[in-house]
């Protein structure tokens, strides 16, 4: 179910260190900062605002990996079957927490492969061009891998991407479309659309799309709908099952903190589990009590795991499990509530800096990330912030992205960032 966000009083904010300190003292999640390993340079802990790119390493990750290595050492292949902690049951440890985070049923979640691989697998099942209904609706400024995957899949089917893929709002200097423009495009193309495939949160601007209204509009014109949730999972409140979304894919190395190249995940709505659906198949998607009988014909697991192909990578599972343990202990609703307060704090502090210094390109409907576009000297601002110990993100040609996250960032760090940004921009000629 979608989490209920608790209200808070923004009128108590003031642009002072005392206010930031008070917010941290009131934070019920402040102790979870110590559950992560923070980058250090010259004996100084750096301030890490890159959860939108690669989350920090949980301190329990090494222990989780070591436990799997010890099982492998002691029991070899029998580790798949032996004890209450056997590897065959490990997948179930992941689907429960992920179901809470995504608003899904556990049997609608599968943990497998990596994001772009899963997009290709979902395209096999959910891009079903028929007659005039063959178009795929995508946002402009989608993450390039999404564009590559969809275009290459369309070409693989013998179709022309230029004729099939409809890019919404392609001429607005790379800025993604608004929710209203997405809905208008769905209505405009109507019965020609086979699939609506968008980001949940745009990687460049941090814009949060209204997934529920987009899904509803797609259903009304008879189209299927899927989302790339790479920047959404572990970041925003979702209710994928009740929103009747057909499928979604995500990576786990950003807000889920599962490490570089981490195992990815996918959601497939339960209404598609039992139907005769086109799907690429492998032995790990077979029903568990049939899997090791080695029969010729595929017998579906009857859940989202039917889309699994190969043996589970246990070391990658362990990394994700370690992080999900922390999220479960912190409480997903608690994380969302802190995030909303951090968003309000960030937005308040933005108003204390001259508006001619940069342009905010992130709408107010967003998750953790905010993107600032600099008319000039943006790279110099980025370099100076980095020198001051702030690990943030530069995107060509002129955008700084940063993402304070509730598990390991503090209100004081956000205040310090804006204080440093104000000092730097006061020293540089940034606008004509």
What is the pLDDT at residue 9?
A: 59
Q: How far apart are CA 324 and CA 314, in angstroms?
A: 15
Which residues of the chain register pLDDT less than 50?
1-7, 432
Cβ count within 10 A of residue 225: 26
pLDDT digits (tens, 9 = 90+) for 140-175: 888 999 999 999 999 999 999 999 999 998 666 668
For 203, the 3-state DSSP assignment is coil
Q: Is the dihedral of CA 213, 252, 58, 206 positive or negative?
A: negative
**CA atoms of 256 and 321, how far apart (whole Å):** 10
User: CA neighbours within 13 Å on the CB side: how many for 377?
Assistant: 16
Residues in CB range of 420: below 8 A, 6 or more apart: 385, 388, 390
113 token code pair:
């492969």
Q: State how far the Cα of 223 lies from the Cα of 240, in Å rounded to an integer.
A: 16
Beta-carbon contacts of 195 under 8 Å, excluding residues fewer than 6 positions away, are 126, 127, 128, 136, 137, 223, 224, 225, 226
Contacts of 405 (CB under 8 A, 6+ apart): 51, 55, 235, 255, 339, 368
Strands 36-37, 399-402: parallel, antiparallel or unpaired by DSSP?
unpaired
Helix axes 332-350, 411-427, angle to 10 degrees: 20
Helices (H), 205-305: 211-220, 288-291
What per-residue confidence (pLDDT) applies to 375? 86
Q: Are the beta carbons of 431 and 57 closer than 8 angstroms? A: no
Cβ neighbours, 10 Å, residue 190:
15
Sign of CA dihedral 5, 9, 15, 16: negative
Q: Which residues pair with 50 in a beta bridge?
A: 403
**Whether the Cβ atoms of residue 139 and residue 170 lie closer than 8 Å to each other:** no
Alpha carbons 279 and 300: distance in angstroms, whole number: 11
Structural domains of the chain, ranges and CATH numbers in brackets:
10-59+332-427 (3.90.1150.10), 64-327 (3.40.640.10)
The structure tokens 């601007």 sit at: 205
Q: Do residues 366 and 208 make contact, with C-beta atoms less than 8 angstroms apart?
A: yes
Distance, CA of 330 to CA of 335 (rounded, Å): 7
In contact, 391 and 413? CB cutoff 8 Å? no
Closest CA to 208 of 219, 198, 197, 196: 198
| Maximum CA extent, the chain | 73
The closest alpha carbon to 251, from 316, 346, 333, belongs to 316
Is 198 in a helix, a strand, or coil? strand
Give the pLDDT of residue 292.
Answer: 87
Distance CA 70, CA 47 (A): 34
Torsion of CA 185, 191, 194, 199, to 10 degrees: 20
Q: Are 200 and 211 in contact (CB under 8 A)?
A: yes
β-bridge partners, 267: 109, 248
Q: At what angle do helices 144-156 and 115-126 cross, to 10 degrees?
A: 40
Coil, helix or strand at residue 189: helix
pLDDT of residue 274: 83
Q: How far apart are CA 109 and CA 307, in angstroms?
A: 10
Q: How many residues does the chain have?
A: 432
Q: How many CB atoms lie within 10 A of CB 184?
A: 15
Does residue 21 have a cis peptide bond before it, meaning omega lies within 30 degrees of 0? no
- Residue with the two structure tokens 């697991």: 301
């Amino acid at each position: 179910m979608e989490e209920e966000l608790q209200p808070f009083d923004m009128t108590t904010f003031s642009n002072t260190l005392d206010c930031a300190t008070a917010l941290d003292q009131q934070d019920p999640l402040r102790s979870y900062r110590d559950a992560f390993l923070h980058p250090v340079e010259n004996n100084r802990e750096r301030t890490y605002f890159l959860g939108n790119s690669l989350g920090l390493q949980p301190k329990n990750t090494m222990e989780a990996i070591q436990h799997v290595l010890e099982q492998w050492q002691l029991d070899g292949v029998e580790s798949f079957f032996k004890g209450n902690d056997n590897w065959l049951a490990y997948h179930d440890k992941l689907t429960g927490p992920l179901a809470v985070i995504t608003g899904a049923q556990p049997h609608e979640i599968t943990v497998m492969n990596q994001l772009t691989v899963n997009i290709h697998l979902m395209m096999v099942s959910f891009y079903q061009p028929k007659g005039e209904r063959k178009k795929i609706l995508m946002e402009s400024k989608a993450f390039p891998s999404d564009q590559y995957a969809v275009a290459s899949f369309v070409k693989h089917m013998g179709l022309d991407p230029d004729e099939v893929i409809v890019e919404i709002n392609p001429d607005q200097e790379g800025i993604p479309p608004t929710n209203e423009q997405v809905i208008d495009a769905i209505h405009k193309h109507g019965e020609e659309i086979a699939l609506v495939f968008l980001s949940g949160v745009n990687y460049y601007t941090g814009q949060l799309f209204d997934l529920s209204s987009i899904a509803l509009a797609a259903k009304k014109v008879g189209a299927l709908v899927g989302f790339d949730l790479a920047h959404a999972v572990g970041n925003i409140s979702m209710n994928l099952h009740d929103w009747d979304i057909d499928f979604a894919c995500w990576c786990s190395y950003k807000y889920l903190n599962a490490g570089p190249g981490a195992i990815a995940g996918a959601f497939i709505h339960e209404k598609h589990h039992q139907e005769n659906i086109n799907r690429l198949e492998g032995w790990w998607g077979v029903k568990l009590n049939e899997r090791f009988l080695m029969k010729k014909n595929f017998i579906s697991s009857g859940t989202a795991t039917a889309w699994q192909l190969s043996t589970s990578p246990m070391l990658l599972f362990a990394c994700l499990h370690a992080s999900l343990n922390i999220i479960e202990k912190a409480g997903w609703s608690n994380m969302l509530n802190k995030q909303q307060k951090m968003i309000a704090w960030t937005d308040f502090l933005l108003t204390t800096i001259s508006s001619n210094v940069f342009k905010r390109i992130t709408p107010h409907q967003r998750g953790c990330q905010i993107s600032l576009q600099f008319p000039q000297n943006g790279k110099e601002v980025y370099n100076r912030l980095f020198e001051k110990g702030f690990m943030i993100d530069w995107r060509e040609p002129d955008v700084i992205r940063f993402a304070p996250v509730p598990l390991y960032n503090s209100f004081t760090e956000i205040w310090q960032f804006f204080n440093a940004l104000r000092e730097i921009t006061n020293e540089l000629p940034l606008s004509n």
